[in-house]
Amino acid sequence: MVSDTSIDSMYLENLDEFINDEGRIVTYKWLSLTLGVHTNVAKQMLYHFVSSQHDSDKGDNLNVTYIVSGVVAREGDHPGVHKIWLVKEDSLAAAKTKMKDVISVHIYSVQKTKLQDMNVLYSANYDKVKENIMSINKYSGIECPDAKVRSTAALAKIRQENAYQAPPEPVKKESKYKPSQIKNDIKKEPGSENDDKQTNGKSNQIASMFARQNKKVEVKKEGAKHKKTPSSAGSKTKGGISAFFNKGPVVKKSDAAESVPLSPSKTSPSKSESSKCSPIKSGSGASSPVKADSIVSSSSETELQESVKESQVESVDTDSSPKRAKKQSKIKAQQQRGKNKRKKGKCDEAPKMKRTRIMQLSDSESSSEEEVEEELFLSPSPPPPEVHGVESDSDEIIPPTPQPKSQDLLNKGGQGRRRKLVDKTFEDEDGYIVTKKEYEFVEDSGDEDVAEMKMDTSPKFETEISPGSTKTSNLHQSKTKTSPQKKSTKATKKSQVADHKKKQSNITNFFSKK
């Protein structure tokens, strides 16, 4: 039934490609299913291929597996049985000798690689067999006309029957003929209720073979969707990313939120606390609450709450001198508020955390100062409101900012500026004398000292003005916050502000879409 003409050169070329180019393991089964030829033809093709390769001296790198069937001689208890062996070329002779009668020797597979393990032969067929599971014997010489593929309805029926009568005899009977179905039925027996699920789930089962096609498509689609969501999310989160860079404010908000419960009793907690602990003797009380109110009205809620919270913290911290006035704490709170506001006004992105550091700075410096001042600085949060230079430095996110000095260096050619730590004393609205250390930008010229002197030695006079002015400026977040400072600061500040406003740009601004 197999004519030599059917094994034409095209097939041999095919084989050559499969084996030598793609490096496949070509079994006769695989070949028959792939090319759609009878298994016997496939075997013959393999044989021809091997012999032609041997003829052309290319056969050296080919490995051939043979399928040897025969009756094995009786050994010990075992009676002689009909066995079918897969053997490698080199052990073919040995295998033949082991058999009493050799019935047939065929080529099972041809491959370039040296087989370490016969298992691969199975996997070589696996995909093809799976594809053709419904008609696996299409090209084989073994037929069973009685074997019929059952419809799903029939299967369901059988399953139901099985559910009632545990031993599934009929199925087994049938199954003799149709191996693929056996699998099906047997698998389904145990849990017949969720058959459907199983059919869907088990990829090996016949029904699912069809479903799988669809599934694949689905999976693909899903993949696409999945992809889309992240990307769209990504584009949406542009804001999120920018938030990443401006972490500060976010944190602040959460703080504020936390402190919300405190807000109603805004002044009371600080008072009660301060009665215990705040350091400075109370002066004229009247003004401060008013101020606080005005602040309240003028400032946004979050700021307020925050500042309240801070004032509390502050008062708690300053537990050293109980007698001092409540007012002081209030003042502090106000300053605090003012500062916060100013900060906010100045740069929304300024991370709150940074204040801590400034405080430490002022702390260490003020430690040597009079008590009053010390009190002011003791708390972790409140640096003197006037410390604009320092603050802004630390507040600014961006690099050039922090080094007015280096800037100065750069500016050397022109009027050099220098940041100086200067003591400032003034009277606040409650009549306290407050001395603060602050950074000032001073012209680097000869009048430096004079300027300094001015600042230094004008305690009371200035105080009358400066507290007011600073306060108001603070309260209104006006640009005049520089009031106690020199004009020179303004310039630097501007540049700082500009720096700090730097924003991450988007790459798509630079490249156009193709």
Helix (H) or strand (E) holding 310: helix 301-317
Residue placing its CB nearer to another protein in the complex, 312 or 407: 407
122 forms part of the interface with another protein (CB under 8 A): no
Burial of 146 (0-12, 13-18, 19+ CB in 10 A): exposed
d(CA 455, CA 231): 58
Give strand pairing partners of 82. Answer: 71
Residue 402 as a binder of another protein (CB under 8 A): the answer is yes
Amino acid found at 115: L
Contact call for residue 117 and another protein (CB under 8 A):
no
**C-beta closer to another protein: residue 231 or 320:** 231
Minimum distance between the CB of residue 413 and another protein, rounded to whole angstroms?
Answer: 16
Nearest Cα neighbor of 426 from 467, 469, 385 is 467
Shortest CA distance to 475 belongs to which of 336, 295, 329, 302?
Answer: 295
Q: Does 78 bind another protein (CB under 8 A)?
A: no
36 binds another protein (CB under 8 A): no
**Cross-strand bridge partners of residue 434:** 426
**CB nearer another protein, residue 48 or residue 354:** 354
- Contact between 138 and another protein per CB under 8 A: no
Contact mark string toward another protein, 201..220, x via CB under 8 A? ---------------x--xx
User: Which position among 117, 297, 487, 510 is part of the footprint of another protein (CB under 8 A)?
Assistant: 510
Q: How far is the CB of 414 from another protein (least distance, A)?
A: 19
Specify the residue, 164 or 510, whose C-beta has the smaller distance to another protein: 510
Is residue 511 close enough to count as binding another protein by CB under 8 A?
Answer: yes
The correct pick among 73, 250, 260, 398 for binding another protein (CB under 8 A) is 398
Q: Using the rule CB under 8 A, give the single segment among 200-208, 267-275, 278-286, 394-402 that binds another protein.
A: 394-402
Q: Which of 277, 247, 248, 273 is nearest to 262 (CA)?
A: 273
- Please identify which residue in 91, 237, 268, 284 interacts with another protein, judged by CB under 8 A: 237
When binding is defined by CB under 8 A, the residue of 119, 151, 214, 512 that contacts another protein is 512
| Interface stretch with another protein, choices 51-59, 86-94, 396-404, 436-444 (CB under 8 A) | 396-404
What residues have CB less than 8 Å from 284, skipping those under 6 apart?
327, 430, 431
Whose structure tokens read 């049985």?
Answer: 81
Can you tell me the distance from the alpha carbon of 41 to that of 4, in angstroms, rounded to the nearest whole number?
A: 9
93 binds another protein (CB under 8 A): no
Question: Is residue 450 a contact residue for another protein (CB under 8 A)?
Answer: no
| Strand extents, DSSP E, 349-460 | 417-427, 433-443
Q: Taking CB under 8 A as the rule, does residue 130 contact another protein?
A: no
Q: Do the bridges between strand 417-427 and strand 433-443 make them parallel or antiparallel, or are there none, so unpaired?
A: antiparallel
Pairing of strands 99-111, 63-72: antiparallel
- Among the candidate windows 175-183, 297-305, 472-480, 499-507, which touches another protein by CB under 8 A? 499-507
Query: Does residue 397 touch another protein according to CB under 8 A?
Result: yes
Looking at the Cβ atoms of 168 and 351, the one nearer to another protein is: 351
Q: Cβ 361 to another protein, closest distance in Å?
A: 12
For position 230 contacting another protein by CB under 8 A, the verdict is yes
Q: How many residues bind another protein (CB under 8 A)?
A: 50
Residue 381 three-state SS: coil
Nearest approach, Cβ of residue 40 and another protein (Å): 30
Nearest to 326 by CA among 266, 262, 374, 268: 268
Q: Is the CB of 195 or the CB of 408 nearer to another protein?
A: 408
| Beta carbon nearer to another protein, 172 or 228 | 228
At closest approach, how far in Å is the CB of 116 from another protein?
9
Residues 404-423 close enough to bind another protein by CB under 8 A:
none
How far apart are CB 386 and another protein at their closest, in Å?
21
Among 44, 162, 336, 394, binds another protein (CB under 8 A): 394
Question: HSE on the CB side for 461, CA within 13 Å?
Answer: 5
**Distance of alpha carbon 397 from alpha carbon 498, whole angstroms:** 11
Query: Of residues 323-382, which lie at the interface with another protein (CB under 8 A)?
Result: 351, 353-354, 357
Tell me the CA end-to-end span of the chain in Å, nearest whole number: 61
Cβ burial of 270 (10 Å; 0-12, 13-18, 19+) is: buried
Residues ≥6 apart with Cβ < 8 Å to 355: 381, 383, 391, 394
Q: How far apart are CA 402 and CA 492, in angstroms?
A: 11
508 binds another protein (CB under 8 A): yes
Are the beta carbons of 362 and 319 closer than 8 angstroms?
Answer: no
Q: What is the DSSP string of 196-265?
A: HHHHHH-TTSHHHHHHHHHHHHHHHHHHHHHHHHHHHHHHHTHHHHHHHHTHHHHHHHHHHHHHGGGGGG
Of residues 456-475, which lie at the interface with another protein (CB under 8 A)? none
Tokens of 492: 């630097």
Q: Of 31-39, 78-86, 237-245, 273-281, which part binds another protein (CB under 8 A)? A: 237-245
Is there binding between residue 503 and another protein (CB under 8 A)?
yes
* Nearest CB to another protein, comparing residues 44 and 401: 401
CA–CA separation, 158 and 20 (whole Å): 48
Nearer to another protein, 239 or 261 (CB): 239
- Binding of residue 241 to another protein (CB under 8 A): yes
Q: Give the residues lining the site for another protein (CB under 8 A).
A: 216, 219-221, 223-224, 226-228, 230-231, 233-235, 237-238, 240-241, 244-245, 351, 353-354, 357, 394, 396-403, 497-499, 501-514
